[in-house]
Amino acid sequence: MSFNLQSSKKLFTFLGKSLFSLLEAMIFALLPKPRKNVAGEIVLITGAGSGLGRLLALRFARLGSVLVLWDINKEGNEETCKMAQEAGATRVHAYTCDCSQKEEVYRVADQVKKEVGDVSILINNAGIVTGKKFLDCPDELMEKSFDVNFKAHLWTYKAFLPAMIANDHGHLVCISSSAGLAGINGLADYCASKFAAFGFAESVFIETFVQKQKGIETTIVCPFFIKTGMFEGCTTGCPSLLPILEPKYAVEKIVEAILQEKMYLYIPRLLYFMMFLKSFLPLKTALLIADYLGILHAVDGFVDQKKKL
């Protein structure tokens, strides 16, 4: 009898909480969640020397955040620093850091803690792409993809998450990719590294949830190709449904997701529907859709930026 009572109580508690969470989600779908104030928050952005990282830095500068900018390119990073100051940031700190090197990440992280303070918003944005077919991609380039696109997340979390837990306050932002949701022809190493980053960020979120560390937020971002030069030459077969994204638009969506403490952000919205279809459609049908949208050959015209220099 006691077992049945316990089971019934557990079931009704589950149903009640589930109903409440669904109602809450429906309300926030109609009425946006209140945006949190990030003025004074210490925001660390990796890959801040150009592209998406630079634009994120400028956006947080206008929001009054304290900026910590990491990039392997010292000149580009210092330029972002100056631009952030011109955009209104009163405290900006630029550090040259190769995020693919574990010991360097730890060394620079210690420097940040001493000189700036505890990072409260960590944005893992740094990334590279080879754009080569799997068998044509040298081993060292594949290893570099994992070092930058995935392993750097491990080292930055290890460096900054403990203070977030101690302060019961923090936000972990993973810039993954639509290539972290589905395999793409010509991007095997990139997809693998982005799948890994997605899975890692999601797993750490589950850890913090289970350990009742309610002050730690997570946002995982999966955009389609963005016009930052990283995917120059890549195309889409259906620009109206699956466009190559404008950088400023992508940044506005990312910052909005962070301010609303949204867990997942897929850009454009079509990606949500595509992931739903992927879960149950026959393989041949899914491939036909991918071919229609131009995804199967999206990387065929990829232009390696290093070869242009």
Q: Which residues are catalytic?
A: 190
- The number of angstroms, rounded, from the C-alpha of 267 to the middle of its chain's C-alpha atoms is 11
Dist. CA 52–CA 74, nearest whole Å: 16
Dist. CA 286–CA 96, nearest whole Å: 43
Question: Do residues 153 and 46 touch, judged by C-beta distance below 8 A?
Answer: no
Dist. CA 175–CA 128, nearest whole Å: 12
Dist. CA 14–CA 73, nearest whole Å: 51
Q: Return the half-sphere exposure (C-beta side, CA atoms, 13 A cut-off) of residue 105.
A: 22
Q: Which of 55, 103, 60 is nearest to 79 (CA)?
A: 55
Owner of token pair 């945006």: 35
Q: Which of 248, 244, 250 is nearest to 232 (CA)?
A: 244
